[in-house]
Chain A
Amino acid sequence: MDAIIDVTPAYLAGFWTTLQLLVISGIGAFIVGAIIAVMRISPVPSLRAFATVYTEVLRNVPLLLVLMFCALVLPILGSDLDYFPLALIGLTAYTSPFVAEAIRSGFNGVPVGQAEAARSIGMGFTQTVGLVVLPQAGRMVVPPLINVFIALTKNTSVAGIFFVDELFKQTNAGARDNPDAVILILLYAALLYLCITVPLGLIAGAIEKRVVVMR
């Protein structure tokens, strides 16, 4: 029990850093992902191609390598940022294609007849997307988006390998300092992660149910 009390201050500090990583890179990934999603459905072929290549490349590189690039390669290339903003850049870049895919799948969930109806009464691209498709897609996008953010919560732990003092790094240190209470120390950290992921999952489930009823 002493071990639990000993690590609590470090854990809470780490938990706070994890939350910061989650919120800031989550917002960043949402913005970048939305831009990528719009590029993927835009009428300009080169934008579509760029967005596709961006998505394919980042989705096929492990997060560890993305963060390795940010933490170890970028400094060689002359960046003098701290490890925390570097981790933010890495997490944002890695998460954005998943956000883009979630948004795109929401768009795909709107029956094609809706867009056809809008087009047939003479609406243009902007009107069709802005007035008809987007408001319906918005609701459908929320559950998959929340799933992306749950994944992001878990992914922030990788930043701990690259010198960010978040929860996983504190867990690592806690397990090293208290070798006789390893199970408790690890379960404690797991519990803190569950404090973020389980409520998010419940929210996603509730919204999903409501969207299904509305259809």
Chain B
Amino acid sequence: MSLTVLYDAPGPKTRRRSMIASIVGVIVIIAFFFWMYVTLAAPRVNETSGVTTPGMFDPSRWDIMADPVVWQSFGEATVNTLRMAAVAAVLALMIGILFSFGRAARITWVRVVTGVILEFVRGIPVLLMIFFVFLVFTAGSYWSGVFGLALYNGAIIGEALRAGIRSLPRGQREAGLSVGLTPMKSWILIEFPQAFRQMLPIILAQLVVLLKDTSLAYIVSYPELARTISNNRNFYGSRYMFTLFVVGLVIYLALNLTVSWIARFVARRSGPRLGKADLNVPMALGAEGTRAITLPVLERDRPPDPGH
């Protein structure tokens, strides 16, 4: 049971009311899905031509799934998606580190130029960036996808790292300098590792976004999952659109949920420790681990159970 400070621990009356509301809610949701199922399964009649097409769950719409070639194409697409995401993630991390380094430089023009490039890269759509690399550098569809994604996500990671470095107590850097490290060495040995650790949850969340955004390589015809759905549709005919879409959706959901879960797990294991977190840490979206109004109350804050 999650306790929040917003309302009292429910008494018997409220519990009953909340139970009723819950049951009604579940019934409404189930009814909605049932209605959707019936609507999808019903055969469709075209009013102008009078032609009837079978419902969405009719075997004639799913028979291509017996064809191993379709499965093979989806398998290859999944591998392509993952490969692009992996290479782009590594590059994005490197670009992000470079950006944060440039933003922290002591030479003014380096700082200003990095800042302008960052604003530019962050402000335009990833789609446009991929397209730009594709047309201007005539890199193949694979590399334009990788570079477009790496550049954009690198900029975001760079900003996250910079925010992490700025949130460190100044004493860290001063201590480094006072024991005789050069500013560069103090940045590499003292500030950066702490900022990276601090910002790990945000960086990992951004890598999940990157995985999702590989679908934008659709525009340069890279055969990843979304492009494969549309290729198969063109090959087998649009009556299979629904089937192909559902298969693609399930693969995407499985991939992304797994990666987000791993990201959350890693972030919890190696991110800033609960309670040790610095107060100056910039607020993350839905900051994990902060004690807050809408999150369940921590175990130690729970009111002690009255003895029975």
Contact = CB atoms under 8 A, between A and B. Distances in A.
Interface string A13-56: 00000000000000000000000000011011111001000001
Given A157-B127, A198-B119, A108 B287 contact: yes
A204 interface: no
A65 interface: yes
B257 A116 contact: no
B123 A44 contact: no
Contacts of B172: none
Contact of B18 (A44, A69, A119, A128): A44
Contacts of B123: 150, 154, 190, 193-194, 197-198, 201
A32 B218 CA distance: 29
Contacts of A128: 6
Contact of A73 (B44, B125, B241, B291): B241
A182 to B, nearest CB: 5
Contacts of B213: 62
Contacts of B256: 60-61
A125 interface: yes
A105 B56 CA distance: 40
- Greatest chain A CB density within 10 A among B21, B26, B292 is at B292
A57 B294 CA distance: 21
A115 B293 contact: yes
B245 interface: yes
B117 interface: no
Majority SS of interface residues in chain B? Answer: helix
A43 B10 contact: yes
A156 B14 CA distance: 44
A5 interface: no
Interface string B259-286: 0100000000000000000000001111
A189 B4 contact: no
Contacts of B216: 62, 64, 158
Contacts of B290: 108
Question: Interface size bucket, A side?
Answer: 35 or more
A95 to B, nearest CB: 14
Given A154-B124, A157-B125, A161-B218, A125 B6 contact: yes
Interface string A152-176: 0111111011000000100110010
A131 interface: no
Given A44-B18, A69-B245, A77 B128 contact: no
Range class of the B interface residue count:
35 or more
B241 A186 contact: no
Most central of B23, B136, B241, B283 by chain A CB within 10 Å: B283
A132 to B, nearest CB: 10
B25 interface: yes
Interface stretch (B97-105, B179-187, B194-202, B247-255): B247-255
A127 to B, nearest CB: 10
Contact of A101 (B127, B131, B229, B285): B285
Query: Could you say which of B6, B44, B212, B290 has the most chain A C-beta atoms within 10 Å of its C-beta?
Result: B6
Interface in B1-35: 4-7, 10, 14, 18, 21-26, 29
Contacts of A108: 286-287, 290, 292-295
B219 interface: yes
B71 interface: no
Contacts of A168: 125, 127-128, 131
Nearest to B40: A77
A75 to B, nearest CB: 9
B132 interface: yes
A76 B294 contact: no
What 3 A-B pairs have minimum CB-CB distances, sorted nearest first?
A46-B25, A108-B292, A62-B215
22 contacts: A40-B294, A41-B293, A43-B18, A46-B21, A46-B25, A57-B253, A60-B252, A62-B216, A72-B238, A105-B285, A108-B295, A112-B292, A115-B6, A115-B293, A125-B6, A140-B283, A154-B123, A154-B126, A156-B125, A190-B132, A197-B124, A201-B123
